[in-house]
Amino acid sequence: MTNDPPAIPSTSGGPLAGLTVLDLTRMLAGPYCTLMLADLGARVIKVEMPEVGDDARHIGPFFDDGDGRPTSAYFFSVNRNKESIALDLKSDRDRQILEALLARSDILVENFTPGALERLGYGWPVLHERYPRLIVGSISGFGQTGPYRTLPAYDMVVQAMGGILSLTGEEGGAPTRGGVSIGDLAAGLFAAIGLQAALVERQRTGLGRHVDVSMLDAQVSLLENALARCQVEGQVPGPIGSRHPSVTPFGVFAARDGSLVLAAGNDSLFIKLCRAIGIADASDEPRFKSNASRCRHHGELKELIELRLSTRTVGDWLAHFRERGIPSGPLNDVGSVLRDPHVQARGMLMNWPLADGSTLATAACPIQFGDGPLTRAEPAPHLDQHRADLLRELGLG
């Protein structure tokens, strides 16, 4: 027998159906984590500040949601399949509601500055004692420990501090931020992985864990071979444009009417590529015979390849390469991605109807299972939209 309060009922199917996630996050890293959990079937209850809500609600561009309220496309894109309740965590009444939710939740995710939850009376030791099965995920700029732990951080800060910024851009050019917020997104993904690992462990132990994910740690993790090259080669890596530091040819190449991508990742593919573009003898040249020598002479090889590519269009070459099994692709802009037939066939775009009769496409969950893609699709909630329903469920209405 147990005196635990009844679980909040599931509102969906999916692998994580039956799990309830209390989401105290805002902006991008935390909401992206809870978006993954929601798409996989967890019930995600988003706790926001009264009147103001998640900071992302105030970042444009905006569209008309049909109810006279401007809606942030930024917020909308990462908060689908969630419920919203606005709580003032300094109010006794709202703390009572939060604690009723905590007692019925499997996971709490937060991205406050370390120490903030403790000051509110909800630090990990307190939560673990009161709700021993609760798993807590903390996403922060620099983690719960270390000399930087209380410093504020945004994506740009951790891209710079984690070395990613120094590797991105054209050779000899200025440091360049990644085109997406990889500092936030990587932390959100690692947090989703850590939380699900803690769920598996809870099956064995019956106890929750505190999952601590730092945006800076996530950036360092993504440095992959740059760390090794820095030490083995004795040189600090820098930006080199689109080419690969250790594999050649591997990058963007100009054809007659635009650019395309080629990736000959081993010697046999390089030989196949040379034959396909009419320079079969080049694969036997000492400069190009091995990958190591190709990397040393990457500029000369690029000139040779582009001289041949200049004779035909991008479309012609891509069809030619695909027939021969040579890894290649178009250099799509975002508009091209929206129109890509394979992206559409894979169900990677969710089209939401708007008040003016148009639609807004957002990226779907990329995790698919053998019996088809996940289809759960509830739009991002209005601020405090689900308050009345949640209070009734909790018996606090």
Which CATH number is 139's domain given?
3.40.50.10540
State the catalytic residue, choosing from 58, 128, 210, 244: 244
Q: Same domain for 40 and 157?
A: yes
Q: How confident is the model at residue 2 (pLDDT cuts 50, 70, 90)?
A: very low
Q: Same domain for 322 and 257?
A: yes
- Between CA 136 and CA 42 the distance in angstroms is 15
Q: Is residue 120 part of a domain?
A: yes
Q: Residue 163: which region, alpha, beta or left (left: phi > 0; alpha: psi -120 to 50)?
A: left
Q: Is residue 232 part of a domain?
A: no
Q: What is the pTM of this model?
A: 0.94
Mean pLDDT of 263-270: 97
Q: Is residue 385 part of a domain?
A: yes
Any catalytic annotation for residue 342? no
Q: Same domain for 181 and 300?
A: no
pLDDT digits 0-9 by tens, 57-71: 999 999 987 777 899
Q: Is residue 145 part of a domain?
A: yes
Q: Same domain for 256 and 193?
A: no
Q: Same domain for 184 and 295?
A: no
Q: Same domain for 217 and 76?
A: yes
Q: Same domain for 156 and 208?
A: yes
Q: List the beta bridge partners of residue 47.
A: 85
Q: Same domain for 208 and 257?
A: no
Q: Is residue 379 part of a domain?
A: yes
Q: Same domain for 287 and 388?
A: no
Q: How confident is the model at residue 1 (pLDDT cuts 50, 70, 90)?
A: very low
Q: Is residue 13 part of a domain?
A: no
C-alpha 115: how far from its chain's center? 25
pLDDT digits 0-9 by tens, 301-318: 999 999 999 999 999 999
pLDDT digits 0-9 by tens, 188-204: 999 999 999 999 999 99
Q: Residue 298 sits in which domain range?
A: 250-332
pLDDT at 230: 96
CB atoms within 10 A of CB 247: 17
Q: Do 324 and 260 touch, CB atoms closer than 8 A? A: no
Closest CA to 373 of 339, 350, 340, 341: 350
pLDDT at 8: 60
Give the CATH number for residue 280: 3.30.1540.10
Phi/psi of residue 301, nearest 5 degrees = -65, -40
Tokens of 297: 């002479």
Among 332, 366, 386, the domain-final residue is 332
Mean pLDDT of 139-149: 98
Q: Same domain for 273 and 197?
A: no
3-state SS string for 311-334: CCCHHHHHHHHHHCCCCEEECCCH
pLDDT digits 0-9 by tens, 314-350: 999 999 999 999 999 999 999 999 999 999 999 999 9
Q: Which residue is it, tokens 């103001």? A: 52
Number of structural domains found in the chain: 2
Q: List the beta bridge partners of residue 196.
A: none
CB atoms within 10 A of CB 301: 23
Q: Same domain for 192 and 58?
A: yes
Omega before residue 61 within 30° of 0, cis? yes
Q: Is residue 212 part of a domain?
A: yes
The H or E element spanning position 159 is helix 155-161
Q: Same domain for 26 and 146?
A: yes
